[in-house]
Chain A
Amino acid sequence: MRWLADPVLEVEHLTMRFGGLVAVGDLSFQAGRREITAIIGPNGAGKTTVFNCITGFYKPTEGMMTLRQEDGSEYLLERLPGHRIAWKARVARTFQNIRLFSGMTVLENLLVAQHNPLMIASGFTFLGVLGIGGYAEAERSAVAKATHWLEKINLIDRADDPAGDLPYGAQRRLEIARAMCTDPILLCLDEPAAGLNPRESTELNRLLLSIREEHGTSILLIEHDMSVVMEISDHVVVLDYGTKISDGTPQEVRNDQRVVAAYLGVEDEEVAVVEAEVGV
């Protein structure tokens, strides 16, 4: 239960309503520092809604989300506008349907991710246009950082190709690398293994583990692929109909009857009990 001792993200009583629909209802969980936390649940359980709340794309109806930096400073994510969550609180994300800048090269994608530090280096454009200041140096180091990530995700040979030309698996990896170029302390991955073949899926596991080990980044991921979830995550949170039904280590969650019921339904002999409960 390390995630309770030193949580990087603490979600408390998060509720998100769309009109009459309660997408997420009174959800509380913690994500541990330098841990991989998986959020799983059947389709429509509200996982992506939670992500959108954390990364500022939705303003939650109720609740509090606290992000704790290593130095102890805290950010209340529900109060920050989306771009400041990424820049100040250092939360990066990927998307379920890949959102790369397809008409820009792979390298350009990674440089766009370093927009804010480069913007400061270019004197908010004023110095950069005139060619004074340390912009050229800053760009070189940004390219070096991008190169580091391209080598890591094995795309260095395609650095000058448009991102839209890459095969699907490579696009997924590139999106993760792009998010990592913002130097996040919390990386939110929305179904990173969707559409990957088993080999690519294994590569992804290795990439995510190395991100955690080498960069000290905490990872929050939504995933349906149980081979990914069970192998690499330290902590699993299970959602169903917008509420948390289980929370624990992969082993604990795997053996939780409520989780099994949510995923597979209930056994025949229990149907009568359930029906009595609902009053049919």
Chain B
Amino acid sequence: MDGQHAATLPASVAGRTTAVRGRVDLGAALKQAGLAALIAFGLSVPILAFRTDQGPANELILRPRWGLVALVCALVFATRLFVHAFASHRRTRPARPQALATDPSQLSTVQRIGKLGLPAFLGIALTFPIIVYFTQGGLSESRYWVDLGILILTYVMLGWGLNIVVGLAGLLDLGYVAFYAVGAYAYALLATTYGLSFWICLPVAGILAAFWGVLLGFPVLRLRGDYLAIVTLAFGEIIRLVLINWVDLTNGGAGISSIPRVTFFGIPFNSDEGGFASLFGLQFHPMHRIIFLYYLILVLALITNFVTMRLRRLPVGRAWEALREDEIACRSLGINTVNTKLTAFAIGAMFGGFAGSFFAVRQGFVSPESFNFLESAIILAIVVLGGMGSQFGVAIAAVALIGGPELLRNLDFLKRIFGEGFDPAEYRLLLFGLGMVAMMVWRPRGLIAQREPSVVLKESKGISAALVKEGHG
């Protein structure tokens, strides 16, 4: 769909001068553009109009920059005018056929992306350390990239976990990071206190997080919508505050350090005789552990995905989606809505717990700082951006939201354009915000908004996002 769109774009721009001039309501366009420029003026006066500098005698002097303000206003004016002309041109064109879902000869967007994108995505994910090894020319050099890959995959897994609660069951959970924290602290405490290995702690952490999910679920399930969101947000904060204040158990704000590192199923990654390297006849390198961590989180994320896909085709998954669509109808069909919501909370929390214990084993250090509200917000943003309920969309969104800002650090060529003093990393939040705004304008229901049916009689047709509800609680 987007390719088609891009192809028609130059034609429409070229045709603008000739075809559009007659149709554009110039007065309205000028009025809108003037209004936009006025707003830009109002916003830029306090920000841009004066610059405070230090004078020769250490006094503060104001340097007016009215030229810059005028430039910004003119730019906004011109852009608005252009957008107006472009929009009116688009309106006059015949509407693009929307019959994707009804035309059987054409595959739905999801299916097309799935056909090409999914294997490509999986292939890149599986071979990522190897690709990086060859492109960066060495194990040590690829450290940064593999670390970034681990970070992205952690968020992919968290996004998939939260997707069960938010995307499938339609329960807005703003405190998902609490379960991440429970998982991380479960491993940290069990490993440092009892010396249990990661492979024992991993399921225990998941079960503990699921238990906390149920515990949170019980009191809040009678709430809906905004109220549910606020209570889950509060729950996330409570967990963090307990971690800070229960110093005897959690060591408070100082966190828990020297958490045992991950082992290759019992074989430590060190340079000793019985270590991983000597056992496999390799030259010892600290990167072995990092690459192992990469594949570990990849497997964990794929398990999350596999289980979620499976659950969607089981009655419980269908009940989650039905709950998102209409809770009252669910009750009338004999579905125990309380239990169904609790399973969604518990299973979502369980994957959060797995991801948390992975986080602890990777960092070797956990502190309450890592589990603030911003983390919950980012995970939720990944789910919403990806398209609620879409597994592949969530993965793309995680790459974009976590990898994108990191990528900006490396855009050195921009220095050549904007001068040596330009640091693209300083602008990454700005660009991030811009990207979000663009998303909300063009794909308000997420990157992959179509829903795939969980069971098919004859042929699978994607369901347009317009029909799918977002859930009320």
Contacts and interface: CB of A to CB of B under 8 A. Distances in A.
Nearest to B467: A164
A160 B314 contact: no
B456 A107 contact: yes
Contacts of A102: 325, 467-469
A128 B335 CA distance: 18
A100 B329 contact: yes
A251 to B, nearest CB: 33
A152 interface: no
B461 A103 contact: no
A228 interface: no
Contacts of A114: 315
B44 interface: no
Nearest to B322: A112
Given A125-B314, A179-B332, 15 more contacts: A57-B328, A86-B334, A93-B332, A95-B332, A101-B326, A102-B468, A103-B324, A103-B469, A108-B455, A129-B314, A160-B458, A160-B460, A160-B461, A161-B461, A182-B334
Contact of A104 (B325, B331, B333): B325
22 contacts: A57-B332, A100-B326, A101-B326, A102-B469, A103-B463, A104-B322, A104-B454, A108-B455, A111-B455, A112-B330, A112-B333, A112-B335, A116-B334, A119-B316, A122-B316, A125-B316, A129-B314, A135-B314, A147-B457, A160-B456, A162-B463, A162-B467
B457 A103 contact: no
Contacts of A99: 326, 328-329, 332
Interface string A204-215: 000000000000
Interface string B284-327: 00000000000000000000000100110011101101101110
Interface in B331-346: 331-337, 343
Interface of B: 307, 310-311, 314-316, 318-319, 321-322, 324-326, 328-337, 343, 451, 453-461, 463-464, 467-469
A55 B332 contact: yes
A143 B331 CA distance: 21
A54 to B, nearest CB: 11
Contacts of A147: 457
B253 to A, nearest CB: 39
A115 B333 contact: yes
A182 B314 contact: no
Given A101-B322, A104-B321, A113-B333, A165 B467 contact: yes
A83 B336 contact: yes
Contacts of A122: 314-316
Contacts of B457: 107, 143, 147, 159-160
B370 to A, nearest CB: 30
Nearest to A124: B316
A55 to B, nearest CB: 6
A112 B331 contact: no
Contacts, number: 136
A147 B318 CA distance: 18
A178 B333 contact: yes
A125 B333 contact: no
Contacts of A129: 307, 310-311, 314
A24 interface: no
Contacts of B329: 95, 99-101
A129 B314 CA distance: 8
The 8 A-B residue pairs with the shortest CB-CB distance in the complex, in nearest-first order: A103-B468, A86-B334, A87-B334, A101-B325, A164-B467, A99-B329, A118-B315, A159-B457
B467 A108 contact: no
B456 to A, nearest CB: 6
Contacts of B464: 162
Given A83-B335, A119-B315, A139 B455 contact: yes
Given A83-B337, A103-B469, A160 B331 contact: no
A176 B414 CA distance: 63
A83 B316 contact: no
Contacts of B451: 103
A108 B453 contact: yes
A239 interface: no
A99 B454 CA distance: 20
Given A82-B332, A83-B334, A115 B314 contact: no
